[in-house]
Amino acid sequence: MIVMKSKLSVTYFFTLTAFIMVNNVYSQDWAVPVIKNQQRVDLRDLGYPSVNEVPVNSSAITSLLTARDGIIYGGTSGEEAYFFLFDPSINKVKHLGKIPGQTGIHHSLVEDKDGNIYIGTGQNVFDDVPLSKWGEGDDKLDVTLWKDIKRHFSGYPGGHLYGYHPAVSKENVMLPDMDCEAEDLGIPVANNSIYALTINPKGDEIYGLTYPDGHFFIYNISQKKFTDLGEIDHQKVYHGPERQWRTLPRVLVCDGSGRVFMSGNKGMLKYYDPEIGKLVSTNIEVPGDYYYMQFYQDYTAVEYFAKDPNGLIYGGTTDGYLFSFDPQKMKLINLGKVRESRRLRCLTVGKDGKVYLMAGELSTTKPCQFYSYDPHAGGFDILGLLIVDRSPYYYWRGQQFDAMTTGLDGTIYMGESERKSHLFLYIP
- Predicted local distance difference test score (pLDDT) of residue 365: 75
Q: Are 186 and 193 a contacting pair, CB within 8 Å?
A: no
Confidence of residue 341 (pLDDT cuts 50, 70, 90): confident
Straight-line distance from the first to the last Cα atom of the chain, in angstroms, rounded to the nearest whole number:
59
Amino acid at 416: E
**Which of 390, 388, 357, 392 lies closest to 371, judged by CA?**
357
pLDDT for 208-252, tens place per residue?
A: 999 999 999 999 999 999 999 999 999 999 988 887 789 999 999
Query: Do 301 and 249 touch, CB atoms closer than 8 A?
Result: yes
Residue 275: its pLDDT value, please? Answer: 96
Separation of alpha carbons 278 and 264, rounded Å: 14
- How much is the average pLDDT of 345-359? 97
Cβ pair 316, 346 in contact under 8 A: yes
Average pLDDT, the chain: 90
Sign of CA dihedral 119, 371, 248, 140: negative
66 vs 344: CA distance, rounded Å? 21
Which is more confidently placed, 303 or 24? 303
Residue 13 identity (one-letter amino acid): F
Q: Give pLDDT tens digits for 142-193.
A: 888 899 999 999 999 999 999 999 988 866 677 778 899 999 999 999 999 9
Task: Report the share of the chain in percent with pLDDT over 90.
Answer: 75
413 class by beta-carbon count within 10 Å (0-12 exposed, 13-18 middle, 19+ buried): buried
Q: Give the three-state DSSP class for 286.
A: coil
Beta strands 423-426 and 92-99 are unpaired
pLDDT at position 98 over 70: yes
pLDDT of 28 > 60? The answer is no
Alpha carbon distance 3, 295 (integer Å): 82
How many whole angstroms separate alpha carbon 349 and alpha carbon 407? 10
Res 225: pLDDT? 97
d(CA 196, CA 325): 19
**pLDDT confidence band for 2 (50 / 70 / 90):** very low
More confident residue, 291 or 87: 87
Q: pLDDT band at residue 138, thresholds of 50, 70 and 90?
A: low
Q: Collect all residues with Cβ–Cβ distance below 8 Å to 118 and sequence separation of at least 6.
A: 109, 110, 111, 112, 161, 162, 163, 164, 185, 197, 199, 206, 219
User: Does 131 score more than 50 pLDDT?
Assistant: yes
Considering only 101-115, 230-244, 253-267, 282-296, which range has the smallest mean pLDDT?
A: 282-296
| Contact (Cβ atoms closer than 8 angstroms) between residue 111 and residue 117 | yes
Burial state string for 286-324 with b = 16 or more CB within 10 A and e = fewer than 16 = bbbebeeeeeeebbbbbbbbbbeeeebbbbbbbbbbbbb
* pLDDT for residue 25: 44
Instruction: For each of the domains in the chain, give its residue range(s) and CATH number, in order of start.
Output: 58-348 (2.130.10.10)
Does 3 score more than 90 pLDDT? no
| pLDDT of residue 369 exceeding 70 | yes
pLDDT tens sequence across 29-83: 667 788 988 899 999 999 998 889 999 999 999 999 999 999 999 999 999 999 9
Distance CA 314, CA 329 (A): 14
**Contact criterion met (CB below 8 Å) for 140 and 134:** no
Whether residue 274 has pLDDT greater than 80: yes
Q: Can you tell me the distance from the alpha carbon of 199 to that of 207, in angstroms, rounded to the nearest whole number? A: 6
Do 212 and 235 touch, CB atoms closer than 8 A?
no
Q: Evaluate the CA torsion angle 229, 230, 234, 239 in order and state its sign.
A: positive
Task: Please report the DSSP string for 66-121 in residue order.
Answer: E-TTSPEEEEEESSSEEEEEEETTTTEEEEEEEETT--B--S-EEE-TTS-EEEE-
Q: Which residues contact 156 (CB under 8 A, 6 or more apart)?
A: 123, 191, 193
User: What pLDDT does 36 receive?
Assistant: 87
The per-residue pLDDT for range 288-333, each reduced to its tens digit, is: 988 766 655 789 999 999 999 999 999 999 999 999 999 999 999 9
pLDDT of residue 366: 78
**DSSP code for 122:** B
